[in-house]
Amino acid sequence: MNEIRNDWTREEIAAIYNRPVLELIYEAATVHRRYHETGEVQVCTLLSVKTGGCPEDCAYCPQAARYHTNVKVEKLMEVDEVLQHASDAKEAGSTRFCMGAAWREVRDNRDFDKVISMVKGVSSMGMEVCCTLGMLTSEQAGKLKDAGLYAYNHNLDTSAEFYNEVITTRNYGDRLDTLEHVRGAKISVCSGGIIGMGEKTDDRIGMLHVLATLPEHPESVPVNALVPVEGTPLEDQPKVSVWDMIRMIATARMIMPKAMVRLSAGRVRMNLEEQALCFLAGANSIFAGDKLLTTPNPGYVRDQEMFQILQLTPRKAHKEAVGNP
Ligand code: SAM
Ligand code: DTB
Ligand code: SF4
């Protein structure tokens, strides 16, 4: 039971997603228990090392140059400054540090050399180092791996069918190619998406289907609730229901049992009880710190309180998923 499968059908995934929600939570919690230590939550910190001015047109994103948001464009941060942030994050209990850049793709230039130095530096601190820099070639993935990169985040965001409604400056195939390059370089894959952009349930299922039928499941699947930002085309989207977050998390947990499922953007609008249900449904990772990339996130103090009340324990760095049940 619950063997790792890469041949899920859309119908099977839809049937899981649409189960009576309490039944779904129970089943996902059961799978979670078989593959993970319950109550253990990975704490990751994000840092935007290059903010704003992005040429892409992702409708949700405050960093796209073409939308008028409050995000100030900043050039790539200095290596020392980044390492200071990483060291602070480690001090505050994070075991994974993820550096994000508002780039369409990585270019082979001095900025990339700087990112390589950042990766080397963070990796030498004993943290799991992750980057999200846009599209990558195989060669660039290889260089990042050699520098000590542990994981690469590159989200599919939504279904192939809905993708063009959200982004027109690249296509779904480009995203999948980058994931292949990352996998090819033996870097841990982090890929998930966003709900609350006006997609249908079928699009959510479509995205989960693509992830769960990759030759290897991503080791990490972030589930983001849209953070609607003033000035972006999606600024007026209604708040995602917590039950939808729970269904996404639980379904991801059931079909990709070994993956870390990350309760990502959107926590700032969730109370403790709602987050507790997400952990019960199989989420076992969060972003900590008072900022995601550019938008607010619950700060360390609030999260510490949550860990205490829910008796959660932070996961150690570089830990393998528990083997077969
Ligand atoms: N530029 C790179 C890219 O697009 O791959 C890396 C950074 S980009 C900001 C990383 C991810 O953040 C996006 O793929 C998207 O899933 C998520 N994201 C961006 N804006 C968001 C928002 N307003 N709400 C929720 N998630 C968001
Ligand atoms: C992911 O799936 N969510 C994070 C991380 N990967 C890079 C980013 C969320 C960004 C939310 C909007 C912002 O703060 O700019
Ligand atoms: Fe650029 Fe990434 Fe934002 Fe899209 S999501 S606009 S690629 S920073």
What total of structural domains would you count in the chain?
A: 1
Q: Is residue 294 part of a domain?
A: yes
61 Cβ below 6 A of ligand 3: yes
User: Does the pLDDT value for residue 316 go beyond 90?
Assistant: no
Q: What is the pLDDT of residues 179-226, one digit of tens each?
A: 999 999 999 999 999 999 999 999 999 999 999 999 999 999 999 999
Q: What is the pLDDT of residues 299-315, one digit of tens each?
A: 999 999 999 999 999 88
Chain centre to alpha carbon of residue 174: 18
CA distance 278 to 44: 17
Confidence of residue 324 (pLDDT cuts 50, 70, 90): very low
Collect contacts of 301-304 with beta carbons under 8 A, ≥24 apart.
Answer: 303/43
Q: Is residue 324 part of a domain?
A: no
Q: What is the pLDDT of residues 91-128, one digit of tens each?
A: 988 999 999 999 999 999 999 999 999 999 999 999 99
Provide the 8-state DSSP code for 236: T
Question: Which residue's alpha carbon is nearest to atom 18 within ligand 1?
Answer: 61
The packing angle between helices 21-35 and 10-17, to 10°, is: 110
CA distance 116 to 146: 9
Q: Is residue 5 part of a domain?
A: no
Q: What is the pLDDT of residues 123-148, one digit of tens each?
A: 999 999 999 999 999 999 999 999 99
H/E stretch holding 38: none
User: Does the pLDDT value for residue 46 go beyond 60?
Assistant: yes
Q: Give me the chain's average pLDDT, please.
A: 95
**CA 103 – ligand 2 centroid, Å:** 14
- From 105, 152, 155, 262, mutation site for ligand 1 pocket: most ligand atoms within 8 A of C-beta: 155
pLDDT at 93: 87
Q: Is residue 323 part of a domain?
A: no
CATH of the domain at 139: 3.20.20.70
Catalytic residue numbers? 54, 58, 61, 98, 130, 190, 262
- From 49, 56, 61, mutation site for ligand 1 pocket: most ligand atoms within 8 A of C-beta: 61
Question: What burial letters (b/e) apply to 119-155, b meaning 16+ CB within 10 Å?
Answer: bbbbbeeebbbbbbbbbbeeebbbbbbebebbbbbbb
> What's the token pair of residue 118?
């950042």
Give the domain extent around 298.
10-314
pTM for this entry = 0.96
Question: Which residue's alpha carbon is nearest to atom 1 within ligand 2?
Answer: 222
pLDDT at 317: 80
Q: Is residue 28 part of a domain?
A: yes
Q: Which ligand 3 atom minimizes the distance to the CA of 167?
A: 4
172 Cβ below 6 A of ligand 1: no
Residue among 129, 61, 120, 121 nearest 94 (CA)? 129
CA distance 44 to 53: 25
269's CB contacts (< 8 A; 6+ apart) are 225, 239
Task: Kindly state the percentage of the chain with pLDDT values over 90.
Answer: 93
Q: Which ligand 1 atom minimizes the distance to the CA of 154?
A: 5
DSSP assignments along 196-233, one per residue: -SS--HHHHHHHHHHHHTSSS--SEEEEEE----TTST
pLDDT at 325: 39
Q: Is residue 4 part of a domain?
A: no
User: Does the pLDDT value for residue 288 go beyond 90?
Assistant: yes
Q: Is residue 321 part of a domain?
A: no
Burial label for 20, CB within 10 Å (0-12, 13-18, 19+), is exposed
Question: What burial letters (b/e) apply to 164-179, b meaning 16+ CB within 10 Å?
Answer: eebbeebebebbbbbb
CA distance 168 to 114: 29
CA distance 108 to 60: 27
125's CB contacts (< 8 A; 6+ apart) are 83, 86, 87, 90
**CA 271 – ligand 2 centroid, Å:** 19
User: Does the pLDDT value for residue 320 go beyond 90?
Assistant: no
222 Cβ below 6 A of ligand 2: yes
Question: Which residue's alpha carbon is nearest to atom 2 within ligand 2?
Answer: 222
Q: Is residue 3 part of a domain?
A: no
Nearest ligand by distance to the CA of 222: 2
CA distance 113 to 33: 42
